[in-house]
Amino acid sequence: MKLTKEEQLELRRLLGALPNTLEAARMRLFRQHGKSTTFKHVMGVVCMSFYLNRRLRLGADEKALVQGAFLHDFYLYDWHDDDAPKKRHGFRHPARALENAQRLYTLTPVEANIIESHMWPLTLRKLPRSREAAIVCLTDKICALLEFCRVQPGGKLALAV
């Protein structure tokens, strides 16, 4: 997965100030899959979603895709901790992430659906209703698998932001 210099610049422009906000920085504190943090994971999903959309010419709205991908796991706790609300984490964390994101940012309906549906089909009734949501739903699973194998999706770009 390799993005051109122009694509990297465009990706940063689309993300805007989002990765640099204090709230988003909290995702750096929480472990995700393997040795990855939630922040590294969401950046991997951002990079891969953007890459697949460009290379496969899927025609997604890139801003909604990138911002929704960045916030899809914005639940803000470590699900490995004993005191974390990890009971049924897989089912519940999309709603928690959406609640946190809506409290801090103004989301479009597409961005909100990206967040709430990214665990589908686990969350049976929260269907991806746009191509942007379908891309993140699929990419999230690929990235999780790669992280379990100790591979950082998006490589240096995902870590550099």
**Distance from C-alpha of 119 to C-alpha of 154, rounded to nearest angstrom:** 21
CB 153 to Fe ion: min, Å? 11
Shorter beta-carbon distance to Fe ion: residue 5 or 87: 87
**Binders in 61-100 for Fe ion, by CB under 5 A:** 73
Taking the C-alpha atoms of residue 147 and residue 112, their distance in angstroms, rounded to an integer, is 25
Spatial distance between the Cα atoms of 30 and 97, rounded to a whole number of angstroms: 14
Q: Alpha-carbon distance 131 to 109, whole Å?
A: 13
Give the list of residues 6+ apart from residue 34 with CB closer than 8 angstroms, or none. 147, 148, 149, 150
Nearer to Fe ion, 60 or 137 (CB): 137
Binding track over 118-137 against Fe ion, x by CB under 5 A? --------------------
Question: Which is nearer to Fe ion, 14 or 95 (by Cβ)?
Answer: 95
Q: Say how many residues touch Fe ion, by CB under 5 A.
A: 2
* Binding-site ranges for Fe ion (CB under 5 A): 73, 140
